[in-house]
């Protein structure tokens, strides 16, 4: 538990320092952390766009797609979309980038 708290504290500092992130990015990152924890901290983990949108309070699909794409470009995540409505998209944390939350997901 201590290492997760340490990594969450690091993420908080990282988010505050990253001027590229908007409130939408931050809420989507929080939703991704919750989804990762709900999956048992597996790496990668599967997510549903609709559940992430509800959890992050993002109500526009275009805003969601813009933010998830930017989080990938910014080096926070790897995102592999699923075009099958019964399968979730796959997300993994970009653990090779030292500036990204690892949350013990390795």
> In this structure, how many other beta carbons lie within 10 angstroms of the beta carbon of residue 69?
12
pLDDT of residue 99: 46
E strand map for the chain:
45-47, 77-80, 89-93
pLDDT of residue 85: 74
pLDDT of residue 87: 83
pLDDT tens digits, 86-105? 888 889 877 655 444 444 43
pLDDT tens digits, 46-66? 898 999 999 999 999 999 999
As a whole number of angstroms, the distance between CA 12 and CA 53 comes to 21
* 45: β partners: 91
pLDDT tens digits, 5-36? 555 666 677 778 889 999 999 999 989 888 88
- Half-sphere exposure of 94 toward its Cβ, with a 13 Å CA cutoff? 16
pLDDT of residue 1: 47
pLDDT of residue 106: 38
User: Exposed, middle or buried, 67 (CB in 10 Å: 0-12/13-18/19+)?
Assistant: buried
pLDDT of residue 20: 94
Residue spans per domain, the chain: 2-93
- Residue with the bigger pLDDT between 42 and 53: it is 53
CATH number listed for the domain at residues 2-93? 1.10.10
């Amino acid at each position: 538990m201590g290492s997760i708290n340490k990594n969450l504290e690091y993420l908080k500092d990282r988010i505050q320092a990253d001027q590229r992130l908007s409130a939408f990015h931050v809420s989507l990152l929080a939703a991704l952390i919750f989804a990762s924890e709900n999956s048992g901290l597996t790496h990668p983990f599967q997510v549903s766009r609709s559940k992430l949108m509800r959890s992050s309070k993002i109500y526009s699909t275009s805003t969601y797609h813009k933010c998830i794409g930017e989080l990938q470009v910014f080096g926070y995540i790897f995102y592999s979309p699923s075009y099958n409505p019964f399968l979730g998209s796959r997300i993994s944390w970009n653990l090779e980038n030292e500036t990204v939350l690892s949350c013990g997901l390795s």
